[in-house]
Amino acid sequence: MEYQITRDGTLSITRTISPLVKSFSIVIVFLAISIFFTFANQYFLTWSNWLNLLRQSSINGILAVGMTFVILTKGIDLSVGSVMSISGMIAASLVTTTNEHFVLIAIVAGLGTGAALGLINGLIVARINVPPFVATLGMLSMARGMTLIFSQGRPTANLSAPFRWIGGGDILSLPAPVVILFVVFGLGWVVLSYTTFGRYIYAVGGNEKAARTSGVSTRIITGSTYVISGLLAGLAGLVLTSRTTAALPQAGIGYELDAIAAVVIGGTSLAGGRGSLVGSLFGALIIGTINNGMDLMDVSSYYQQLLKGAIIVAAVIADQLRK
Amino acid sequence: MASPQEGTIIETANMTSPVQTEQPASAVETPLLVAEGLTKSFSGVPALRDGRLVLRRGTVHALCGGNGAGKSTFLNILMGLLRRDAGVVRLETENVEFRNPAEALHHGIAMITQELSPIEDMTVAENLYLGREPRIGGVFVNFALMAKNAAALLRELGFEVSARAKMSALSLAQVQLVEIAKAFSYNAEIVIMDEPTSAIGEHEVHVLFEAIRRIKTRGAGIIYVSHKLTEIFEIADEYTVFRDGCFIETGRIDSINRKHLVTQIVGHEVTMVEKGEPVSAASALLEVSNLSRDGEFKEISLRVAAGEVLGIYGLLGSGRTEFLETIYGIRSPTNGEVVVDGAHVPPGNPKRSIRLGMAMVSEDRKESGLVLSASIAHNITLSSLARRAVGGFIDQKAEGETVKKMMQSQRIKARSPRMAVENLSGGNQQKVVFARCLTTNPRLLLCDEPTRGIDEGSKQEIYNFVRKFAAEGNAVLVVSSEAPEILQVSDRIAIFKKGRLAEIVDGRTTTQKALMDLAS
């Protein structure tokens, strides 16, 4: 009762300015954490460590971009970790030393696998109206099963040099995965900010019925976000496989949670319609920084898990309190 | 309603309340509640500059004012949802300042809001005693006793609601009765009702009014907020008008007329819209033949000519909203055909309907009309965005121009087009919906309850707009449950009854009484 009255009343003034404050505050949180680690460890603020940090964040960043699209439409994609894994596995199988194809074929196969599984998610969610949580939870299990069947539970190693370059190479002295992340982020940002498609995503997430009444093809919009998420999961799978120089059947387990965390820390609402890609990028960077900083400080990985979770919840609580 | 006084503004003798449980002598003289000089600012912007109200026992006191008049702020201060900057609130003789609604409730003030949130799967009794269920051994809920208490309470108040019914099975008016009963179970003496009829049909309004009259005779005071002036004149004993955060006037409702009240609310005299000449047999812009949808409406055929406003009137559940949504293509008909401007309208495809020249102002702005989290600009251009896009990219310049033009022509008052729609008043929100509809240059406008929950001034602007739009050679369908509104705006009125088209009457000659008789 209390909530409803205030919602209708005059307290809403603060909400007009909150998008500004929001994207700003995430940067402050990021800087605060960085400053803390800078004082805590002398290696933290070095160029090589930052390249390392960015490289470590790139996979989660790529996933977070796709996840932002999905969450903006009020959805969720739990399958990205498994989709990564099957995409990486299929791509890897095409570039081993015993079965070597042109690297582009492997890339197309990996991305295609991701997009195809994303399309299945999208159709089940948008066409058959299965709740996204359930549909993608199913895909999480199915794609993992596909990986295990396809690989017979064995890793695929001995990948060709051009393929290994995706995760290990440099472009203009920046690690290739970081460049890929920036390109993905840039494209995503342009789509969300400057295209009708982007505008429709916000509209569908904000109020699907109103969007439909206004003539937006809501099903196509909703479904497409899963294709984007799947495609980017495929891309992340390529980067991961290349970086680890082998496709592992258990690769990508739990990655969906970090991606969701990045989006949520970045201020995108799970209720849809509000949020930004900039926030998600910084969300991914914050998670990466926490991991990296604690590694440098020699915090045991058991404690890292605990602290990371606490920091995620604290970041969101801080955000709530400010509102 | 029996009151011996004539035109006296200050004094009301309260001899008609038979059930005065406490302090019978002083209660007659001392008002239940007196608020004086309440002020409240939000980040320097005053929302309430001088809020005043005197509520007497056994009266219904209408609090009137346009959007932004400060009513909500005033009520929220009374309820302890907001802290006042200055002013006094007295309950009988005690000065009070509540910190939260629970404290207000403890002192006998309850508020029944626009958006009720009952727990649908629980029974009436369970909702009434939520959080204070009678228990056996402090652990198990004593359902039998709870149902008995609830039934006794409802019977005492004379509300026809079964204590064992599921909330989901109740009508909205009945849900409100349960809320009122709940307030009474806390011994509330002051009940604040904020737009209680905004979502219920005419018949249910009578159920609610019956209940209000009952609790009034028990000595309660009711603060009644509504934009529907007809209701205010029917139910209220006294009124207070706020405008721009200030107290303007108070008095007895039977000492003023409708026009006076509108003038006080709006701040200047309002000219009512004039209808144009009756349309001759111009070309039909909309032709509906034998349209049916199982369980909702059956075999409806009608034609709307260019230049005409057709009103659709009917009680809640008469199928009017469903009919309108089917024409627009949100719902698919089981039978029948819709032709707009000579073209067949495919079912289930609003996008196509818009291309054929239709636009829809839906019943519920918040639920299906607007993307509340998005800005004014983005809402206005949502329907027309694709038309101006180049290769999927938004033409920012064209968009800015459209927004500017629409905000001017629809007189949308906002600091910036980038402001989120959720921060606008109801009237301005509805103007945004109209603006969005107009960006696609429609020829047929479908309006479902176009003035629900918005203030008198904005209502008149919308009526004017609808008439003007039709006069330009377009057609409008207006669904409304408010008879005066339908009569004011329509050339012809189609009366719906239980999913059937009962009759089509002339909007110029029909009276309100006739309309209501035909519909029920």
Its pTM stands at 0.76
Same domain, B239 and B382: no
Same domain, B239 and B340: no
Q: Is B129 domain-assigned? A: no
> d(Cα B355, Cα B74) in Å, to the nearest integer?
45
Which residues in chain A touch residue B354, judged by CB atoms under 8 angstroms apart? Answer: 214-215
pLDDT at B404: 93
Closest CA to B498 of B478, B477, B518, B476: B518
Chain B residue with CA closest to A191: the answer is B393
pLDDT at B512: 81
pLDDT at B27: 43
In this structure, are strands B60-64 and B221-225 parallel, antiparallel, or unpaired? parallel
Q: Which of B197, B232, B266 is the endpoint of a domain?
A: B266
Same domain, B425 and B485: yes
Question: Which domain does B236 fall in, by range?
Answer: 32-117+188-266
> d(Cα A215, Cα B441) in Å, to the nearest integer?
14
pLDDT at B137: 83
Q: What is the CATH number of domain A19-322?
A: 1.10.3470
Please give the average per-residue pLDDT across B114-136, as a whole number. Answer: 82
Chain B residue with CA closest to A217: the answer is B351
pLDDT above 70 covers what percent of chain A?
Answer: 91
Put simply, the chain B residues between 266 and 305 with a CB less than 8 A from any chain A CB are none
A12 contacts chain B (CB < 8 A): yes
Same domain, B451 and B390: yes
Which residues in chain B touch residue A206, judged by CB atoms under 8 angstroms apart? Answer: 371-374
Q: Is B201 domain-assigned? A: yes
Please give the average per-residue pLDDT across B261-272, as a whole number. Answer: 76
Taking only the tens place, the pLDDT of each residue in B24-51 is 444 456 889 999 999 998 877 788 999 9
Q: What is the ipTM of this complex?
A: 0.83
Q: Which residues contact A258 (CB under 8 A, 6 or more apart)?
A: A60, A63, A284, A287
Which residues in chain A touch residue B47, judged by CB atoms under 8 angstroms apart? Answer: 10
Whether the Cβ atoms of residue A233 and residue A80 lie closer than 8 Å to each other: yes
Taking only the tens place, the pLDDT of each residue in A123-179 is 999 999 999 999 999 999 999 999 999 999 999 988 999 999 999 888 988 999 999
Chain A residue with CA closest to B423: the answer is A12
Which residues in chain B touch residue A15, judged by CB atoms under 8 angstroms apart? Answer: 420, 422-423
Give the count of domains, chain B. Answer: 2
B14 pLDDT above the threshold of 50: no
**Three-state DSSP state, A279:** helix
Q: At B355, which CATH number?
A: 3.40.50.300
A213 contacts chain B (CB < 8 A): yes
Chain B residue with CA closest to A192: the answer is B393
B11 pLDDT above the threshold of 50: no
Kindly list the distances between the CA atom of residue A17 and the CA atoms of A12, A268, A279, B67, in Å, as whole numbers in the listed order: 10, 15, 16, 22
pLDDT at B215: 85
pLDDT at A81: 96
* Residues found in chain A: 323
Q: Is B349 domain-assigned? A: yes
Q: Is B168 domain-assigned? A: no
B6 pLDDT above the threshold of 50: no
B99 pLDDT above the threshold of 80: yes
Contact (CB<8Å) B382/A197? no
More confident residue, A9 or B271: B271
Q: Is B161 domain-assigned? A: no
**Three-state DSSP state, B302:** strand
Same domain, B425 and B455: yes
Q: Which residues contact B309 (CB under 8 A, 6 or more apart)?
A: B466, B467, B470, B475, B476, B477, B478, B489, B490, B491, B507
Same domain, B224 and B315: no
Same domain, B214 and B300: no
- What is the number of CB-based contacts under 8 A between chain A and chain B? 126
Q: Is B384 domain-assigned? A: yes
Chain A residue with CA closest to B418: the answer is A16
Q: Which of B240, B266, B292 is the endpoint of a domain?
A: B266
Taking only the tens place, the pLDDT of each residue in B277-319 is 555 555 788 999 999 999 889 999 999 988 899 999 987 778 8
Kindly list the distances between the CA atom of residue B467 and the CA atoms of A215, B229, B369, B472, B499, in Å, as whole numbers in the listed order: 25, 21, 21, 9, 27
Same domain, B409 and B463: yes
Same domain, B237 and B378: no
Same domain, B219 and B344: no
Taking only the tens place, the pLDDT of each residue in A22-64 is 556 788 888 988 999 999 988 999 999 999 999 999 999 999 9
CA distance B31 to chain A (A): 26
B5 pLDDT above the threshold of 60: no
Element (H, E) at A240: helix A218-243
> Of A123-137, A189-203, B503-517, which range is least confident?
B503-517
pLDDT at A5: 29
pLDDT at B169: 83
**Which tokens hold the place of B6?**
């004539």
Please give the average per-residue pLDDT across A252-279, as a whole number. Answer: 91
Contact (CB<8Å) A4/B117? yes
Tokens 């009374």 appear where?
B78
Please report which confidence band the pLDDT of residue B250 belongs to, taking 50, 70 and 90 as the band edges. Answer: very high
Please give the average per-residue pLDDT across B96-122, as a whole number. Answer: 82
Closest partner CB to A5 (pick from B76, B330, B436)? B76
Report the amino acid identity of residue B193.
Answer: M
Contact (CB<8Å) B383/A210? no
Same domain, B328 and B441: yes
Same domain, B234 and B375: no
CA distance B370 to chain A (A): 5
> d(Cα A131, Cα A322) in Å, to the nearest integer?
31
Please report which confidence band the pLDDT of residue A255 belongs to, taking 50, 70 and 90 as the band edges. Answer: very high
Whether the Cβ atoms of residue B166 and residue B174 lie closer than 8 Å to each other: no
Please give the average per-residue pLDDT across B133-154, as a whole number. Answer: 87
pLDDT at A256: 94
